Amino acid sequence: MSITVQVLMSPGCGHGQKTVDLVRDVLRELAPPARLETITVATPAEARRLAFPGSPTVRVGGVDIDPGAAGGVGLG
């Protein structure tokens, strides 16, 4: 069974691509079978549906890696 890592970001996020590159490098080194998904969150409705706290967000197995990210929904 492979784990899924998601990078969620708003369009034009200044740190989004750097985050994707870093996560890809870490996965290649530590978890080669893991799957990386990049998700663009473009609207407030998508942000609410995805419980998106801000850009970028990294989730492993559906859990945000930032324990302080719970709550709030945003696109910034």
Cα dihedral across residues 16, 10, 70, 49: positive or negative:
negative
Report the pLDDT value the prediction gives residue 25, as an integer from 0 to 100. Answer: 97
Architecture per CATH, domain 4-69, reads as: 3-Layer(aba) Sandwich (3.40)
Query: What pTM was computed for the model?
Result: 0.90
Per-residue pLDDT of 49-66, as tens digits, reads 999 999 999 999 999 999
SS3 25: helix
| Geometric angle at alpha carbon 51, from 46 and 52, rounded to 5° | 75
DSSP state of 33: T
| Geometric angle at alpha carbon 73, from 71 and 74, rounded to 5° | 140
Per-residue pLDDT of 2-16, as tens digits, reads 899 999 999 999 999
Average pLDDT, the chain: 92
- CB 3 within 8 Å of CB 61: yes
